[in-house]
Structure 1
Amino acid sequence: MKFSTVIAAVASVGFAAAASAPSCGAGSKCPKESPCCDAYGQCGSGVSCLGGCDARYSFAADSCAPQPVCSNGAGTHTFTDVSDIVYYTQYNGDISKNLWSYTGEVLEQNSSAVLTMRKNTVGTVLFSNFFIWYGKVTAVIKTSHLDGVVSDFILMSNVKDEIDYEFVGNDVTAAQTNYYFEGLLNYDNEFTATVDNSTYASYHEYTIDWQEDSITWYVDGNAVRTLNKADTVNSTTGVAEFPQTPARIQLSVWPGGDSSEPQGTVQWAGGPIDWNAPDLSDPGYYFVEVESVTVDCYDPPSSANTTGSKSYVYTNQEGLEADVSITDDDTTISLSSGSSSGSTSSGLPLQILSQAPQSQSSLQSLEELSQVSTAQTKTKSKSQSKTQAIPVVSAIATSTTAASSSAAASTSDDSSASATDSADASDSTGSADATDSAAADNSASATDSAASTAATGAAGHLAAPLSGLAAALLGLVL
């Protein structure tokens, strides 16, 4: 997920406090006072310690909050009522209250959740607050359409293990499948499946069957691809570069063809996005419709260290399957009244929206407007450049200053800082012939056997491609 839009108006926005938040990634862990490395490579506390908190680069493995287990979300989720889907800064880890959260805007229409992308915005991400450690997930969705508009259905773990369906708006007969291990880039991991009938005009079932030793992607009940874990072993390290850690469900719509994107991203997304397309007048936005999501939880690995049944916890910062335990640790944290630390304290750029959502807007306060709005972004070009994942902060066009959310991380005498300690002070139709093992006529780009060629740099997988102006203002390392 990766993109950022920085315009001249950013210079008028004061965010000196935001720029002070330390960054995190390979070779750089968070300090004790801001112990949690969030999904965007910034250290913080509060909501930074919830979904997306990367134990590898946090102060300690247990700095991140425990993750709610899969059983909380087992069954079929329909979206006839979206009132229980909360803006992500309002979620405190209490899975009994909120199974889903979002950034951007989620509407309810025709018994579906509508993920919107209004003019000149970064779109919307809907994600589960419960995690899955192997299981089958089926999403019944209609994608968006047109050049530059990208729709996603993915499983994403906190340490950047990822299983994807991606849909590029200029080809509504294709579903791109992909996977990543700890965010490592491997250009041989993608395979595109054909979808009968338009992905935009018709609902289709997209299934990810994630098992300990394989992943199978299905479209409308037909297997279109199978990946075997044994085929992902890196011959040098001996490590299976295979998604293997608890992951959240994410569905999204985002502007891969925005002018702020690298040219490779724009080309992959089908060309420049039309911010004056008819959709932006009626109904007023590009959109993805989510009819339902069905979750079937599988048993955890037999080797898993199990001392409870409520939460997944990282016990080591390697971020492998063996480093996850199942415990009875509480998943909730305390968010201080009126503020949280997970975004504006993260040193992210502000995007001034040229058209703010009106009455349907889920962003109801200046504080919320100053929070991070994420969008799924992929970079893909003939030169095989690909990046993933980004943060952008949203604010109304008339706002020339942003409310600064600050959080004081609590300290303790212990050798590690936990999420609960710090939070007390803050708040993407085929057959078996399309599997990866039958590639006599498939190009190398459709196979899964070249995992050893994975490019290194998980941090780069998540780094926002900021302009020079933004970098100068924020003091970020490009």
Structure 2
Amino acid sequence: MSFLLRFGLLAAAISSVTAQTWTACNPLNTTDCPANPALGDQHTWTFNETSTLNNKVWKITAGDIGFGKEGAEFTILERLDSPTIQSEFYIFFGVVESHVKAATGGGVVSSVVLQSDDLDEIDWEWIGSDGGRVQSNYYGKGNATYGRAGFHDVEGGATDGFHNYTTHWTKEKLEWWIDGKLVRTLNYEDAVGGKNYPQTPCNVRIGIWPGGDPKNPQGTIDWAGGPINYDTVPYTMTLKQLRVQDFSSGKEYRYGDMSGSWQSIEIVKGNSTVKEELNKPPPKPLSQRWKELPNGAKIAIYCVIAGVCASALGLITFCCIKQRRLGRKEYSAEATKYDSERTEMLNWQTEWRKKGGYQPVSGA
């Protein structure tokens, strides 16, 4: 079943779920769509418990993504959870290599998808109740007719461990590979003479969703392996590593017309902002940055530190003296008060004695 169709049905049936496959502007309908930022390079992401997502490279379009020892975790914890990430970059033909352990569970669907603004689509999909296989699929221009899915056995099981699922995509053919073995090939001309062949710049979308939710159409529920059992959550898909290679290079990709053909795509020359972001050197440790400072800068820093310390010491000294003086005043006031009260008591005692003092009662 088309990833696009499934999410369109899911979004229509359940308004609180954000569809994982969608387009903000379809270049087949207008010439005003923004250009697609290019990757223009290749990059590998390895995920573990210390990983984070660079929001200039990836955005979370639904739910929350966790990170554990094995990789990035896409987890269904409650009804309608559908955690998904989407790349901020596009590739114009290329390679997507994902090391995935699919989620278990009937009605649970894990997916790695390439999708363009004009709804070309290339899929890897895992049904949680069919842990020994993975499905491959493709769609052109949102054409969601059935019968294009391929079913491929995964040695050792797709839900029991990590496997390498690779898409190799050129303008001539599309290949799906599992653990280095070619399992399917689609030639351009075999997709209705190229009409339904994915051929426009695509971004990468990775996620998990409850295809077996009871509000989905029955056909979707059946395809997803039956109703999902929310009483046995969590259901987790894990992504250990991802490599993406763009076969084109440049700043961005523009649709030259509304044909949706690869020949109409214009590659804008320039530096890819995503590529620059990915190639930024990691922050240097403080010790290294200190070593690289010129001596004059170090002396200036020492002087500033010395000045700050001197100011702080002066402030502390002033506060101590002020507090000491205040303490003396308070002590003097209390001593004066004590002396006054003591004198008053002595005077009272003297007057009392003069008047006879205490007289015992006779016969007591």
Q: TM-score range by the shorter chain?
A: 0.5 to 0.7
Q: Is the 2:21–2:115 contact (alpha carbons within 8 Å) kept by the matching residues of 1?
A: no
- Contact 1:142–1:200 (Cα < 8 Å) also in 2: yes
Q: How big is the shift at 1:331?
A: 8.7
Give the TM-score, by structure 2 length. Answer: 0.66
Could you say which structure has the greater relative contact order, defined with CA pairs below 8 angstroms and 6 or more residues apart?
1
Runs of 4+ displaced beyond 6 Å: 329-332
Partner of 1:275: 230
> Structure 1 residues 296, 66: closer, same or farther in 2, change over 3 A?
same
Alpha-carbon separation, structure 2, partners of 1:6 and 1:268: 16
What CA distance in whole angstroms lies between the structure 2 residues aligned with 1:122 and 1:225? 31
Q: 2:151 aligns with which of 192, 197, 201?
A: 192
Q: TM-score, normalised by structure 1?
A: 0.51
Q: How far did 1:316 drift?
A: 1.4
Distance change in 2, residues 1:286/1:326 (3 Å): same
The whole-number CA distance in structure 2 between the counterparts of 1:247 and 1:4 is 22
**Residue deviations 1:207-227 (CA, integer Å, cap 9, x gap):** 001011111101111111111
In the alignment, is residue 203 of structure 1 matched against residue 154 of structure 2? no
Counterpart check, 1:55 vs 2:27: yes
The answer to whether the Cα contact below 8 Å between 2:91 and 2:248 also exists between their aligned partners in 1 is no
Shift of 1:6: 6.2
Q: Which residue pairs with 1:99 in the alignment?
A: 57
Q: What is the aligned partner in structure 2 of residue 229 from structure 1?
A: 188
Contact 1:148 1:266 in 2 (8 A): yes
Farther-moved stretch of structure 1 (254-263 vs 129-138)? 129-138
**How far off its partner does 1:329 sit?**
8.0
Contact 2:91 2:245 in 1 (8 A): no
Q: Which residue of structure 1 lines up, in the alignment, with residue 198 of structure 2? A: 243
**Match for residue 66 of structure 1?**
35
Q: How does 1:168-179 map to 2 (within 5 A)?
A: 168-179=127-138
Could you list the runs of 5+ residues in structure 2 that have no partner in the other structure?
1-6, 274-364
CA–CA distance in structure 2, aligned partners of residues 6 and 176 of structure 1: 24
Matched residue SS, 2:189: helix
Check if 1:214 corresponds to 2:221: no
- Correspondence for 1:462: none
Counterpart of 2:67, as a letter, is E
In structure 1, the residue matched to 2:341 is none
CA distance, structure 2, for counterparts of residue 198 and residue 231 of structure 1? 30
1:321 counterpart letter in structure 2:
W
CA distance in 2, matches of 1:188, 1:316: 30
The one-letter code sitting in structure 1 at the alignment partner of 2:130 is D
Q: Secondary structure in 2 aligned to 1:133?
A: coil
Aligned-residue offset at 1:101: 1.3
Distance 1:298 1:204 in 2: 24
- CA gap of 1:151–1:39, structure 2 versus 1, over 3 A, is closer
1:325 pairs with 2:266: yes
Taking a change above 3 Å as real, the CA distance of residues 111 and 148 of structure 1, as seen in their structure-2 partners, is closer
Give matches, 1:330-409, under 5 Å.
Answer: none
1:296 to 238, 245, 250: 245
Q: 2:256 aligns with which of 315, 318, 321?
A: 315
Give the match's secondary structure for 1:70: coil
For residue 400 of structure 1, what is the aligned residue in structure 2? Answer: none
Change (3 A) 1:100 1:82: farther
- Post-superposition CA distance 1:8-53 (Å, at most 9, x none): xx8xx9xxxxxxxxxxxxxxxxxxxxxxxx9647xxxxxx4xxxx3
The alignment-based identity, stated in percent, is 30
Is it true that 1:265 corresponds to 2:220 in the alignment? yes
Shift of 1:121: 2.3
SS of the residue aligned with 2:40?
A: helix
Q: Where is the helix percentage greater, Structure 1 or Structure 2?
A: 2
C-alpha RMSD over aligned residues: 2.5
What is the alpha-carbon distance in structure 2 between the residues aligned to residue 242 and residue 265 of structure 1?
A: 24
Instruction: Deviation per CA, 1:225-273: give whole Å up to 9, x if none.
Output: 1111122234xxxx53200001011111000000010000000101000
Compare CA radii of gyration and give the structure with the larger one: 2
How many residues of Structure 1 are paired with residues of Structure 2 in the alignment?
A: 261
Q: Note the C-alpha offset of 1:64.
A: 2.4
Give the aligned partner of residue 68 of structure 2: 109
Kindly provide the amino acid, as one letter, of the partner of residue 266 in structure 1. Answer: I
Taking a change above 3 Å as real, the CA distance of residues 314 and 330 of structure 1, as seen in their structure-2 partners, is farther
Partner-residue secondary structure (3-state), 1:116:
strand
How big is each residue's C-alpha offset from its partner over 1:386-419, in whole Å with a ceiling of 9 and x where there is no partner? xxxxxxxxxxxxxxxxxxxxxxxxxxxxxxxxxx
Q: What SS does the aligned partner of 2:72 have?
A: strand
Measured after TM superposition, the shift of residue 78 of structure 1 is 1.5
The alignment partner of 2:263 has SS state of helix
CA contact (8 A) 1:82 1:108 kept: yes
**Alignment CA distance shift 1:39-1:319 (3 Å):** farther
Amino acid in structure 2 at the alignment position of 1:244: Q
Partner of 2:302: none
Other-structure match for 1:165: 124
- Judging changes above 3 Å, is the alpha-carbon distance between structure 1 residues 317 and 273 closer, same or farther for their aligned structure 2 residues? same
Partner amino acid for 2:175?
T
SS at match of 1:276: helix
> Hey, what's the Cα distance between the residues in 1 that align with 2:150 and 2:139?
13
